[in-house]
Amino acid sequence: MTVTALLDGPGADVLAAACAEYKPGRELQLVEKLRRRYDATLVTTAVTQAALRHRAVAKFGADASRMFFTPDGLEQATRTTVGTHRAVRLAAAMPGASVVDLGCGIGGDLISAARAGLRVTGVERDPETAATARANLAALGLAGEVLVGEAESTDLTPYDVVFADPARRADGRRVFDHNAYSPPWTFVLELLQRTACVKVAPGIPHDAIPAGVEAEWISDSGEVKEAALWSGQLYGGTPRRATLLPSEATVSDAPEAEVGPVGQYIYEPDGAVVRAGLVTAVAAAVDGWLLDPRIAYVTAAEYVATPLASAYEVVEELPYKEKALRSWVRSQDIGTLEIKKRGVDLDPAQLRKKLAPKGSASATLIITRIGRDAVAYSCHRLVDRYGR
């Protein structure tokens, strides 16, 4: 039974009851209770939907309570903050444009685009998922259509903009090689010859991005979510960009930066900045320099607040030896130990276990490589760009 069974009549009633009484971990009890009043199959579908709505709040906020989901559709959907950023950028460049979303899934990007004033059409190969996307537009009072069809065979001529989010999963596992996307990368390259926006994994190699296409790496609250490729009228005039949500801070230039010894502060650039290869923008923002030209840490003599990086005040440099670090943990009465690392082959969780912090104090240990040598710094984390 699909989500269409929950749209009206008895299905809508049982869904309302399931959502009103749903509690995580109590699904079986809820199913047993509702089966006393409703059809068993309908109850199972409704409770599953209630569970998906509960999970979906992390991506869709308050809208989740009115939306419909499939398990795969929710897993693959863009969170609202990221989808809204893309839609607003597109609408600013081409107000009122008609957009076709190839492989629209449950319609998350259609929702963001419609709210930005764009005219939207979704294309989805799976009929159940297409019906879910259609139901979501209707549930949120948004105009748009959803067609069942294949991305590769869709006539694109009626549309101003093509949006695509190629599937990055095979046999239930995530695919990291862009050549294994579906639709295939050759099709994506064809789309990028016109006005298009294509969502790809943040690990996309820089040399895979065609000339005249902007790659924008996007993070949300410090977590890198995607790279968006912008072409045609949406090209922003720069090959690489990093955008940080929710601040909307963005950088696209990578000025030259000097390399020097550790200063009073170490800055850890946001992951989107690192992926975009724009670490030196952080150095410019804080009047700092690189610890090593190959490592994404910036250091500076003064503290300068920046949305581009988290900051740590250096307390002391430590020998990168387990015995010395264990002694440091004991002498400083450390019980909460955050371990950050770049350029060194270690598992922070395993190292923390070996150091056995059991005290009452807290500290951050930054371990990195300068030249051929691994070094460690005892640090104090300052309030970062997200207020933590």
Q: Is residue 388 part of a domain?
A: no
Q: Within this chain, do residues 160 and 274 fall inside the same structural domain, yes or no?
A: no
Last residue of a domain, which of 193, 214, 245?
A: 245
Q: Within this chain, do residues 18 and 99 fall inside the same structural domain, yes or no?
A: no
Pairs from 325-330 (Cβ < 8 Å, separation ≥ 24): 325/351, 325/355, 325/365, 325/376, 326/354, 326/355, 326/356, 328/378, 329/355, 329/356, 329/357, 329/359, 330/359
Q: Both tokens of residue 105?
A: 């899934």
* Res 214: pLDDT: 98
* CATH code of 165's domain: 3.40.50.150
109 Cβ neighbours under 8 A, 6+ residues apart: 78, 83, 86, 87, 101, 163, 165, 199
Q: Is residue 183 part of a domain?
A: yes
In this predicted model, what pLDDT tens digit does every residue of 117-157 receive, in sequence order? 999 999 999 999 999 999 999 999 999 999 999 999 999 99
Q: Is residue 95 part of a domain?
A: yes
Q: Within this chain, do residues 161 and 19 fall inside the same structural domain, yes or no?
A: no
The pTM assigned to this predicted structure is 0.91
Q: Within this chain, do residues 186 and 310 fall inside the same structural domain, yes or no?
A: no
Give 286-304 as a DSSP string.
HT-EESSTTS--EEESS--
Contact, 45 vs 10, CB < 8 A? Answer: no
Q: Within this chain, do residues 169 and 237 fall inside the same structural domain, yes or no?
A: yes
Q: Within this chain, do residues 152 and 39 fall inside the same structural domain, yes or no?
A: no
Q: Within this chain, do residues 166 and 223 fall inside the same structural domain, yes or no?
A: yes
Contact, 286 vs 304, CB < 8 A? Answer: yes
Find the farthest-apart pair of alpha carbons in the chain and give their distance in angstroms, rounded: 72
Q: Is residue 103 part of a domain?
A: yes
**Calpha distance 1→323 (Å, rounded):** 60
Q: Within this chain, do residues 28 and 126 fall inside the same structural domain, yes or no?
A: no
E strands in the chain:
98-102, 119-124, 145-148, 161-164, 169-170, 173-174, 196-200, 214-220, 223-230, 240-245, 249-251, 265-269, 289-290, 298-300, 309-318, 334-342, 361-370, 373-381
Q: Within this chain, do residues 121 and 18 fall inside the same structural domain, yes or no?
A: no
In this predicted model, what pLDDT tens digit does every residue of 167-179 receive, in sequence order? 776 555 666 778 7
Question: Nearest 5°: CA angle at 111, between 228 and 87?
Answer: 35
- Complete edge-to-edge strand list for the sheet that includes strand 309-318: 289-290, 298-300, 265-269, 309-318, 373-381, 361-370, 334-342
Provide the residue-wise pLDDT of the chain in tens; the chain has 388 residues.
678 889 888 999 999 999 999 999 999 999 999 999 999 999 999 999 999 999 999 999 999 999 999 998 999 899 999 999 999 999 999 999 999 999 999 999 999 999 999 999 999 999 999 999 999 999 999 999 999 999 999 999 999 999 999 977 655 566 677 877 888 999 999 999 999 999 999 999 999 999 999 999 999 999 999 999 999 999 989 999 999 999 999 999 989 999 999 999 999 999 999 999 999 999 999 999 999 999 999 999 999 999 999 999 999 999 999 999 999 999 999 999 999 999 999 999 999 999 999 999 999 999 999 998 999 999 999 966 555 4
Contact, 258 vs 284, CB < 8 A? Answer: no
Q: Within this chain, do residues 283 and 229 fall inside the same structural domain, yes or no?
A: no
* Res 388: pLDDT: 46
Q: Within this chain, do residues 30 and 87 fall inside the same structural domain, yes or no?
A: no
* Res 159: pLDDT: 97
Q: Give residue 297's domain range.
A: 265-381
Q: Is residue 59 part of a domain?
A: no
Number of domains in the chain: 3
Q: Is residue 277 part of a domain?
A: yes
Q: Within this chain, do residues 278 and 372 fall inside the same structural domain, yes or no?
A: yes
Q: Is residue 62 part of a domain?
A: no
